[in-house]
């Protein structure tokens, strides 16, 4: 080696200038192939959003079709045919009283979020179970909102063929207990 091919490096050692090699120390062609193959595998993952948009659109349409904000907030017994009316307005969620044949059923949500309150009584005029439940509900509403905020609202549903005397018995008990806001449930499809 000539003097200019030997260069002094760090720590007093000699560094040789590399020349042309017939056979490289490392197989660069194979290494380049592996690196290229790994890059091909690392290509970014693309998510096709068109099917997801379709799926969410169907889900939103399904939820909108099944949501109702116009008074379908009560349970209609299979024994009751709701009377039709020419005018009506949407109902709010109040305790529900159903008059079915000779029975009177009271159903309301519990204030503490537990099980719903339910009472069934025979419609003979006095309705002691219903009176007791109405008194308890009035006491709860007074505790929550005070005497001034007690509105005494209740939803009443009865079959269209129920005699008016049966409905009047229930209404008399409601008025006696201070529940004077009586909303009658009608068939909303015929209301204008």
Q: What is the pLDDT of residues 97-116, one digit of tens each?
A: 888 878 888 888 776 666 77
Question: Tell me, what CATH number does 146's domain have?
Answer: 3.30.420
SS3 79: coil
Residues 36, 106 share a domain: no
Say whether both 36 and 103 belong to one domain.
no
Q: Considering the entire predicted model, what is its pTM?
A: 0.55
Q: Report if residue 51 sits inside a domain.
A: no
Q: Domain for residue 48, yes or no? A: no
Per-residue model confidence as pLDDT tens digits over 126-175: 888 888 888 888 888 788 777 777 778 888 888 888 888 888 888 898 88
Residue 183 has pLDDT above 50, yes or no: yes
Structure tokens at 110: 């519990």
Q: Is residue 15 domain-resident?
A: yes
Strands 14-16 and 6-8: antiparallel
In a domain, residue 88? The reply is no
Number of compact structural domains in the chain? 2
Same domain, 36 and 107: no
Output the six-digit token pair for 118: 């339910």
The closest alpha carbon to 99, from 41, 9, 169, belongs to: 169
Tell whether 32 and 111 lie within a shared domain.
no
For 6-46, the pLDDT digits (tens) are 555 555 666 666 666 565 566 566 676 777 676 666 666 67
Tell me, yes or no, whether 102 and 177 share the same domain.
yes
Range of the domain at 141: 96-184
In a domain, 84, yes or no: no
């Amino acid at each position: 080696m000539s003097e200019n091919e030997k260069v002094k490096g760090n720590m007093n050692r000699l560094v040789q200038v590399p020349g042309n090699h017939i056979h490289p120390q490392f197989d660069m062609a194979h290494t380049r192939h592996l690196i290229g193959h790994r890059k091909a595998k690392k290509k970014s993952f693309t998510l096709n959003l068109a099917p997801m948009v379709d799926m969410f659109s169907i889900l939103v349409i399904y939820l909108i079709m099944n949501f109702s904000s116009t008074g379908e907030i009560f349970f209609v017994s299979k024994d009751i045919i709701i009377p039709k009316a020419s005018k009506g307005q949407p109902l709010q969620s109040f305790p529900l009283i159903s008059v079915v044949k000779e029975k009177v059923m009271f159903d309301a949500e519990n204030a503490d979020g537990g099980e719903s309150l339910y009472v069934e009584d025979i419609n003979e005029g006095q309705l002691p179970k219903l009176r007791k439940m109405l008194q308890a509900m009035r006491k709860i509403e007074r505790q929550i909102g005070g005497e001034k905020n007690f509105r005494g609202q209740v939803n009443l549903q009865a079959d269209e063929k129920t005699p008016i005397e049966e409905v009047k018995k229930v209404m008399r008990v409601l008025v006696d207990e201070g529940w004077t806001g009586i909303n009658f449930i009608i068939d909303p499809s015929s209301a204008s």
